[in-house]
Amino acid sequence: MPSSSQPVPSPIAIDGPAASGKTTVGRALAREFGFGFLDTGAMYRAFTVAAIEAGIPASDTPACEALASQLVMTTEVSLDTRILLDGTDVTARLRDDDVESSVSEYSAITGVRTAMVARQRELAAAGQVILAGRDIGTVVLPDAPVKIFLTASPEERAKRRGAQSEASGGPGSVDKAHQDISGRDETDSKREVSPLKPAADALVLDSTALSEAEVLQKARDLIVSRAEFAAAAAGTPDTATKTGGPRAAAASGWMAKLVSPFYWGTQYPIRLILFLVTRWSVSRDGEIPPEGPMIVVANHLNFVDPPILGTALGRPRRVRFMAKAELFRGPVGLLVKLYGAFPVRRFDADVAAMLTAERILRQGGALGMFPEGTRSRDGQMARPHPGTALIALRSGATVVPCALTGTERIKGVRVFLRRPAIAVRIGEPIPVERVKRPTEAQVSQLTDAIDGAIRALLPAAYGGTYTGSSGSSRQ
Residues 221, 305, single domain; the answer is no
In tens, the pLDDT along 135-151 reads 999 999 988 888 999 99
Residues 353, 321, single domain; the answer is yes
Average pLDDT in the 394-410 region?
93
In tens, the pLDDT along 248-280 reads 566 667 778 888 999 999 999 999 988 888 899
Which of 113-117, 245-249, 320-324 bottoms out in mean pLDDT, i.e. has the lowest? 245-249
Residues 393, 259, single domain; the answer is yes
CA dist 475 and 223 (Å) reads 48
pLDDT for 230 equals: 58
The answer to whether residue 211 is domain-embedded is yes
Residue 411, domain extent:
254-474
- The angle, 0 to 180 degrees and rounded to 10, between the axes of the packed helices 212-234 and 387-395 is 140
pLDDT at residue 235 is higher than 70: no
In tens, the pLDDT along 429-463 reads 999 999 877 888 898 899 999 999 999 999 998 98
Residues 455, 328, single domain; the answer is yes
CA dist 271 and 277 (Å) reads 10
The answer to whether residue 451 is domain-embedded is yes
Residues 227, 260, single domain; the answer is no
pLDDT at residue 376 is higher than 80: yes
Residues 120, 42, single domain; the answer is yes
Residues 202, 288, single domain; the answer is no
Average pLDDT in the 100-113 region?
92
Bridge partners of 73, per DSSP, are 85
Residues 224, 267, single domain; the answer is no
The answer to whether residue 286 is domain-embedded is yes
Work out the pLDDT band at 354, boundaries 50, 70, 90.
confident
Question: What percentage of residues in the chain have a pLDDT greater than 70?
Answer: 87
Q: Which of 234, 267, 302 is the last residue of a domain?
A: 234
Sheet holding 203-206, edge to edge: 36-39, 129-133, 12-15, 146-151, 203-206
Tell me how far CA of residue 133 lies from CA of 45, 172, 275, in angstroms: 12, 24, 54
Q: pTM for the complete prediction?
A: 0.55
Which of 189-193, 212-216, 370-374 bottoms out in mean pLDDT, i.e. has the lowest? 189-193
pLDDT at residue 468 is higher than 60: no
Number of domains comprising the chain: 2
pLDDT for 4 equals: 43
DSSP symbols for 11-65: -EEEE-STTSSHHHHHHHHHHHHT-EEEEHHHHHHHHHHHHHHHT--TT-HHHHH
